[in-house]
A and B are shown apart, each in its own frame.
Chain A
């Protein structure tokens, strides 16, 4: 029996554009489980990123509930959501979003020390993560503009994982990378998932989606389908075909 990590009830999100209401998410009832690598797929404008932000407390829903354990985070204010994010979530962005004025180590520690003031422990944890994503010591002193795209995104992953979050949210993490560095980043995510990290990733890239064990398909603000791919195994053709069939069925 899987442990529920996050659950939404009638989750809706609407935007007013030029006086016209756009209902981006419509009454979504969704359950995310601990230890899953959940991939949210869908066409452009389907509401993938909006769902990710609503789930992660980055944005508040217009209606509905988002339950994290015994707590509905949908009703929390800005600062309470910030505390929720820092304590329970990690984020990997498509545009990476490292802070240019801080070097690699400081980018990671700025997030880490926010939760745990034990500097030695945090530096040690950062060191382990850097080693895990293959960021050498000399790179840790560099500034973001001095890094390659792949390096920067791996630093982004370290930053996201520094506080050992319960969920790692990744929004198109390979979207701004070439295919080689994209693959490296996906490998890193897979490794951490293998180690027990819950991941929720938004992507419209099949190659990235294959890394997940659970695929959700979003269409016009509604989850229209779900596919259980099982554990990721590199080069598993049957798994690939299953995903392709699911996506074809969803109208991909």
Chain B
């Protein structure tokens, strides 16, 4: 063992630059791996922990009625179901509403509770905190209670930008109300617009005033804990169906543990996905660099290897020394990487918490830490073993005499007397043709970076610079305005907008919850004629429904349920069921892919419209808010909601834009660092390997500049070929890959426009950058003095 340590120590001392490069690569890979694993595992576990801590329900229903009979019926249903563990009902106000958010607007279902009553709840507890300690989740002493005080979900305080003491305008239904923000709250099942409902606490006075005004229906909030959270979707369906069938006039909002636990973590899933991809790419590059390093070590130290074998060292001892050498680098580098990830995690946590709206306390996680140490070390050990196996075949005498020649002497590649190339490029090509390992390293690096460039271009083009393609994919339908009116005024509404020259187009686009036969809630969107909708790309396979017995189903859901076009499914709503023929597959991520499209007549087979939402395209230059105010004046309480869709999209998409901008920046910085790093390592190895050759060429009259260019040019064939191939292949596979990546939020088919111009220019830029970097790295050639070479002999 001592001998092995000696060899490993000696190798490490001789290759300080290589050591530094490997340490940095492994450090970056381990840091990203640990961040990914922490986000992937514990971050979602945190939801479960908070769910338990606040004794939250697995199913939440907000029913627009406080009738005693209704409550008794619900109690009966729950008590008769053996899955029920605990339930609670309390008074609430519920209504669709909106407020300013992130430079745009959020439109969500409000569940408004009186603060004192909410705090005395035994179930579905709501944690209140001041702004300073929001992340810790502790209840703090709040500033003096204002009569119009409101407590808002943490997500709106952080990402939304509302601070304590700010005035918040809530548009409830169609009427604006102003409240003073007293603090933020944490609710597991109702703490974000991603939960289908957002809870707000009002002070007693403010609550009573709102209740008296009748802006929002007096409602009942039902929270139910069941034995197994995995059955929450089915339970939610059963409960909602049972209530709606007995009380068809009431409006029901509901959510389940399964849906909320996923929907609140979309940003975290995207971030974890990107981190995992980057960790894999950097690990792969590190492995290639290490394998190449091992092979170079063997080549450079061939005589020493022969000497060691001659004095009695066994191959396995020398391989063990290499394993020890590289593991001895990888393990401490991984430890540093894990430490770095913990240094970065608070920053990422702040960003993620602003999106999930659930406080998370950064703490040590043994499993991700262990995996982040074991995986890089294990894969490196495997790569070293693979690369070092040839040591077993090297005879000591051969090693002592010449070493094993890597160059094939069978024929001269790029013979100078035959090539038409000028001398320097010809010598570069000759070097490139004989450096197979160097080329492999360059190719793998450039292929990975080409993918990164294509991804960056895709995100820049379709998310950061122009959000429309992203929105079309994620949001589904877009328009300028959405107006929801009660059905009794629908005809009048349609007549008026028909006459209104500000309205270019109006079409029914109304969503309601329906149930698939298994009990799973699907958001059904209805239209009179889907050929009128703006986003014709929603239907990714088959076609939109045309007839009352047709349905287009969310593709993610269809695949999960093994449904295909031509199958028949049973949908239910309000206690009625009907069979539908699947005519197409849709892709909308609003409900994590659990969506379907029906015609108006199709929905009316199982449900009744009490109100309808219309999407409107308004003429260019129309003041949308003024138009809404006018509509509100005309239709009064019959107008349930007037939503400025552009503002809503801006509000919710700003998060994705900033997240994607950050990711693209990080990816570019990392990509640049990787290019510099890998080329530095390769040029350094090449200079060491060819020091004598460079000395001879200098003695013959080659200038430093010629040799630098020759060295840099020798990388160009591999760089160019792999970048071109990488860009072309990436352009083809980037959409399926992105779809795979976004699968968690219901995306299975991605049709982003691949920015050919950008990726071509970026690919050319990458090649140029690699060439310039190689030239700069080759500046060390200046230090090679021919006289030292000759005099040293």
Residues of A within 8 A of B (CB): 49, 53, 58-59, 78-79, 82-87, 89, 91, 93-95, 97-103, 105-106, 109-111, 113-115, 117, 119, 123, 126, 141, 143, 145-146, 159, 171
User: B417, B785, B789: which contacts A119 (Cβ < 8 A)?
Assistant: B417
A114: B residues at CB distance < 8 A:
423, 700-702
A90, closest chain B residue (CB): B700
Q: Mind listing 6 A-B residue pairs with CB under 8 Å?
A: A95-B790, A97-B696, A106-B416, A111-B700, A113-B416, A117-B422
B416: A residues at CB distance < 8 A:
102, 105-106, 109-110, 113, 119
**Assembled-state Cα–Cα distance A87/B697 (Å):** 14
Segment touching A, from B216-224, B407-415, B764-772: B407-415
Does residue B546 face the partner (Cβ distance < 8 Å to A)?
no
Q: How far is the CB of B111 from chain A (nearest CB, A)?
A: 76
Query: Contacts A82-B703, A91-B700, A101-B693 given: A110-B427 contact, CB under 8 Å?
Result: yes
Query: Contacts A105-B417, A106-B412, A106-B415 given: A99-B787 contact, CB under 8 Å?
Result: no
- Contact A110 B407, beta carbon cutoff 8 Å: no
- Contact B703 A59, beta carbon cutoff 8 Å: no
Query: Contacts A91-B700, A114-B701, A145-B409 given: A78-B782 contact, CB under 8 Å?
Result: yes
User: B417, B697, B698, B705: which contacts A109 (Cβ < 8 A)?
Assistant: B417
User: A59, A83, A91, A101: which contacts B434 (Cβ < 8 A)?
Assistant: A101
A97-B790, A99-B693, A115-B701 are known contacts; what are 14 more A-B pairs with Cβ within 8 Å? Answer: A59-B787, A79-B705, A82-B698, A85-B700, A85-B701, A98-B696, A99-B696, A101-B430, A106-B415, A106-B417, A109-B417, A110-B697, A159-B700, A171-B790
Residues of B within 8 A of A (CB): 402, 405, 407, 409, 412, 415-417, 422-423, 427, 430-431, 434, 692-693, 695-705, 782, 785-787, 789-791, 793
A106: B residues at CB distance < 8 A:
412, 415-417, 430
- Contact B407 A79, beta carbon cutoff 8 Å: no
Q: How far is the CB of B279 from chain A (nearest CB, A)?
A: 38
A144, closest chain B residue (CB): B409
A127, closest chain B residue (CB): B417
- Contact A58 B790, beta carbon cutoff 8 Å: yes
- Contact A87 B699, beta carbon cutoff 8 Å: no
User: B698, B705, B787: which contacts A53 (Cβ < 8 A)?
Assistant: B787
A86, closest chain B residue (CB): B701
**Assembled-state Cα–Cα distance A194/B786 (Å):** 30
**Assembled-state Cα–Cα distance A99/B417 (Å):** 16
Query: Contacts A79-B705, A94-B793 given: A58-B412 contact, CB under 8 Å?
Result: no
- Contact B430 A85, beta carbon cutoff 8 Å: no
**Assembled-state Cα–Cα distance A113/B741 (Å):** 54
- Contact B417 A123, beta carbon cutoff 8 Å: yes
B409, closest chain A residue (CB): A143
A111: B residues at CB distance < 8 A:
700-701
A159: B residues at CB distance < 8 A:
700
**Assembled-state Cα–Cα distance A126/B701 (Å):** 18
**Assembled-state Cα–Cα distance A86/B786 (Å):** 13
Q: How far is the CB of A46 from chain B (nearest CB, A)?
A: 14
Query: Contacts A85-B700, A99-B696 given: A146-B423 contact, CB under 8 Å?
Result: no
- Contact B412 A82, beta carbon cutoff 8 Å: no
Q: How far is the CB of B415 from chain A (nearest CB, A)?
A: 6
Query: Contacts A86-B700, A114-B700 given: A105-B409 contact, CB under 8 Å?
Result: no
Of B422, B705, B786, most A-chain CB atoms within 10 Å:
B786
Q: How far is the CB of B509 from chain A (nearest CB, A)?
A: 70
Q: How far is the CB of A166 from chain B (nearest CB, A)?
A: 13
B785: A residues at CB distance < 8 A:
59
B791: A residues at CB distance < 8 A:
49, 53
Q: How far is the CB of A163 from chain B (nearest CB, A)?
A: 8
- Contact B423 A110, beta carbon cutoff 8 Å: yes
A99, closest chain B residue (CB): B693
A103: B residues at CB distance < 8 A:
412, 415
**Assembled-state Cα–Cα distance A87/B409 (Å):** 31
A89: B residues at CB distance < 8 A:
701
A78, closest chain B residue (CB): B704
B415: A residues at CB distance < 8 A:
103, 105-106
- Contact B787 A58, beta carbon cutoff 8 Å: yes
- Contact A141 B700, beta carbon cutoff 8 Å: no
Q: How far is the CB of A76 from chain B (nearest CB, A)?
A: 12
A87: B residues at CB distance < 8 A:
701
Query: Contacts A101-B407, A102-B430, A109-B417 given: A83-B701 contact, CB under 8 Å?
Result: yes
- Contact B700 A93, beta carbon cutoff 8 Å: no
**Assembled-state Cα–Cα distance A146/B782 (Å):** 31
B695, closest chain A residue (CB): A97
- Return the 10 tightest CB-CB contacts between A and B, nearest first: A86-B701, A109-B416, A79-B703, A59-B787, A113-B423, A103-B412, A85-B701, A95-B793, A82-B703, A111-B700
Q: How far is the CB of B789 from chain A (nearest CB, A)?
A: 8
B407: A residues at CB distance < 8 A:
100-101, 143
Q: How far is the CB of B670 from chain A (nearest CB, A)?
A: 35
A78: B residues at CB distance < 8 A:
703-704, 782
B701: A residues at CB distance < 8 A:
82-87, 89, 111, 114-115
Q: How far is the CB of A137 from chain B (nearest CB, A)?
A: 12
**Assembled-state Cα–Cα distance A63/B271 (Å):** 65
Q: How far is the CB of B21 from chain A (nearest CB, A)?
A: 25
Q: How far is the CB of A138 from chain B (nearest CB, A)?
A: 13
B415, closest chain A residue (CB): A106
B789: A residues at CB distance < 8 A:
97
B787: A residues at CB distance < 8 A:
53, 58-59
**Assembled-state Cα–Cα distance A123/B416 (Å):** 9
**Assembled-state Cα–Cα distance A154/B329 (Å):** 48
**Assembled-state Cα–Cα distance A124/B475 (Å):** 74
A110: B residues at CB distance < 8 A:
416, 423, 427, 697, 700
**Assembled-state Cα–Cα distance A85/B702 (Å):** 9
A115, closest chain B residue (CB): B701
A97: B residues at CB distance < 8 A:
692, 695-696, 699, 789-790
A58: B residues at CB distance < 8 A:
699, 786-787, 790
**Assembled-state Cα–Cα distance A91/B786 (Å):** 12
A83: B residues at CB distance < 8 A:
701, 703
**Assembled-state Cα–Cα distance A96/B703 (Å):** 21
Q: How far is the CB of B705 from chain A (nearest CB, A)?
A: 7
**Assembled-state Cα–Cα distance A111/B706 (Å):** 13
B419, closest chain A residue (CB): A119
Q: How far is the CB of B7 from chain A (nearest CB, A)?
A: 27
Q: How far is the CB of B34 from chain A (nearest CB, A)?
A: 44
B703: A residues at CB distance < 8 A:
78-79, 82-83
Q: How far is the CB of A101 from chain B (nearest CB, A)?
A: 5
A171: B residues at CB distance < 8 A:
790
Query: Contacts A113-B416, A119-B417, A171-B790 given: A85-B423 contact, CB under 8 Å?
Result: no
- Contact A145 B434, beta carbon cutoff 8 Å: no
Q: How far is the CB of A22 from chain B (nearest CB, A)?
A: 14
**Assembled-state Cα–Cα distance A94/B700 (Å):** 15
- Contact B412 A146, beta carbon cutoff 8 Å: no
- Contact B409 A102, beta carbon cutoff 8 Å: no
B417: A residues at CB distance < 8 A:
105-106, 109, 119, 123, 126
A82: B residues at CB distance < 8 A:
698, 701-704
**Assembled-state Cα–Cα distance A178/B704 (Å):** 36
Q: How far is the CB of A113 from chain B (nearest CB, A)?
A: 4
A123: B residues at CB distance < 8 A:
417
- Contact A146 B793, beta carbon cutoff 8 Å: no
Of A83, A91, A141, A146, most B-chain CB atoms within 10 Å:
A91
Q: How far is the CB of B452 from chain A (nearest CB, A)?
A: 34
